[in-house]
């Protein structure tokens, strides 16, 4: 093991600097959203999952290279037993400024307080409809809508901040609810982020005509509520707006398909089985687990990470410039988005 201390920043061949690490802690999920998971997923064997100690070791190396924000994903991260212990490990690492989580919210009501005590900063809940029957059809599980809503309320009550709601807008499915979600933001003060439908669905149903663009979403909201754009933070995945009339809450649009943000992307992903994914739109993956379980030093792991990140794909932006339609790469549940 090497001594502590800052290392040179983690940079790819296009000059992009890594600042955010997304960690998938499991591929398992208790929901079956069609734009994420196949009908009959094949789960990783539990022995293939990185342990919390292995994840913590990798995160410490990333932190020494300047990564300061960690987001836990899945599958469904709250299905990983003892996840609050991992939150505690990660939030105690020098250089990590925030540990947040993206969840379907089903188990949040019971776990929000424990997660807050462990050091979780904020939480983003995936909520793809405000109509209970439609929502339960989308997620493939009956009788869960109200429990997810209670989980969001509980996250706010215990002081997790920020609390955000992510909604994937799909034409012909839930594109008639854009204003309903805008009103949710105004009523609760939370941030609602609209995500363009991306080609990472488990059943390979994605088509370009199902994408509702961020511009269309913003226009729909502005027919009723004037929006004021907020300054975009470098590396941010979303363009954000406040309501001109001073109402609480904010609106975000994640335009991965129509106006990507590849040029200053600052993210790298770690899958539950230890594979690094520098770019979600590339098939390239780099397996850290043999190093972690084969006695490699921190310096060797650092060198491996640098080599993998250096080769990061230019991004979906480069495909769109060549008028190429992105193809399916991997299902969302396998790497957490």
Is 14 part of a structural domain of the chain? no
Q: Going residue by residue through the chain, which has 337 residues, state the pLDDT in tens, using 9 for 90 and above.
A: 444 568 999 999 999 999 999 999 999 999 988 777 777 888 999 999 999 999 999 999 999 999 999 999 999 999 999 999 999 999 999 999 999 999 999 999 999 999 999 999 999 999 999 999 999 999 999 999 999 999 999 999 999 999 999 999 999 999 999 999 999 999 999 999 999 998 776 666 778 899 999 999 999 999 999 999 999 888 888 999 999 999 999 999 999 889 988 999 999 999 999 999 999 888 899 999 999 999 999 999 999 999 999 999 998 877 766 656 556 667 878 888 7
**pTM of the prediction?**
0.94
Q: Is 7 among the domain residues?
A: no
Q: Which two tokens stand for residue 162?
A: 């920020």
Q: How many domains does the chain have?
A: 1
Assigned domain for 228 exists: yes
What region does 15 belong to: left with phi over 0, alpha with psi -120 to 50, or beta? left
Is residue 77 domain-resident?
yes
CATH of the domain at 69: 3.20.20.70
Question: 162 preceded by cis ω (within 30°)?
Answer: yes
Give the C-alpha separation, 175 to 318, whole Å: 28
Q: Is residue 120 part of a domain?
A: yes
Cα(302)–Cα(7) distance, integer angstroms: 9
Q: Residue 166 is inside which H or E element, if any? A: strand 163-169
**Closest of 259, 283, 261 to residue 271, by C-alpha:** 283
Query: Does the residue 6 lie in any domain?
Result: no
Quote the domain boundaries for residue 114. Answer: 20-334
Alpha helix stretches (DSSP H) within 14-172: 52-64, 83-91, 108-118, 132-139, 145-157
């Amino acid at each position: 093991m090497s001594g502590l201390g800052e290392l040179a920043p983690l940079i790819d061949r296009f000059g992009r600097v890594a600042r955010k690490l997304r960690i998938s802690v499991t591929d398992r999920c208790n929901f079956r959203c069609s734009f994420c998971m196949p009908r009959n997923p094949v789960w990783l064997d539990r022995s293939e999952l990185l342990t919390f100690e292995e994840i913590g070791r990798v995160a410490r190396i990333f932190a020494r290279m300047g990564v300061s924000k960690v987001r836990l994903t899945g599958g469904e991260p709250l299905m990983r037993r003892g996840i609050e212990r991992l939150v505690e490990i990660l939030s105690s690492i020098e250089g990590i400024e925030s540990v947040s989580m993206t969840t379907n919210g089903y188990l949040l009501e019971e776990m929000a307080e424990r997660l807050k005590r462990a050091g979780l900063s904020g939480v983003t809940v995936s909520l793809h409809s405000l109509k209970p029957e439609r929502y339960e059809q989308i997620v493939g599980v009956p009788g869960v809508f109200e429990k997810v809503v209670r989980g969001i309320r509980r996250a706010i009550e215990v002081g997790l901040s920020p609390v955000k709601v992510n909604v994937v807008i799909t034409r012909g499915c839930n594109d008639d609810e854009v204003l309903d979600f805008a009103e949710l933001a105004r009523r609760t003060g939370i941030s609602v982020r609209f995500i363009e439908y991306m080609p990472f669905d488990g059943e390979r149903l994605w088509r370009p005509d199902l994408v509702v663009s961020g511009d269309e979403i913003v226009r729909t909201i502005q027919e009723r509520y004037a929006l004021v754009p907020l300054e975009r933070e470098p590396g941010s995945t979303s363009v954000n707006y406040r309501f001109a009339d001073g109402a609480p809450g904010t609106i975000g649009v994640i335009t991965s398909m129509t106006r990507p943000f590849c040029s200053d992307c600052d993210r790298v992903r770690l899958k539950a089985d230890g594979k690094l994914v520098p770019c979600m739109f590339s098939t390239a993956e780099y397996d850290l687990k043999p190093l972690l379980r084969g006695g490699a030093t921190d310096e060797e792991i650092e060198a491996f990470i640098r080599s993998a990140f250096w080769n990061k794909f230019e991004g979906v932006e480069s495909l769109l410039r060549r008028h190429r339609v992105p193809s399916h790469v991997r299902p969302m549940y396998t790497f957490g988005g």
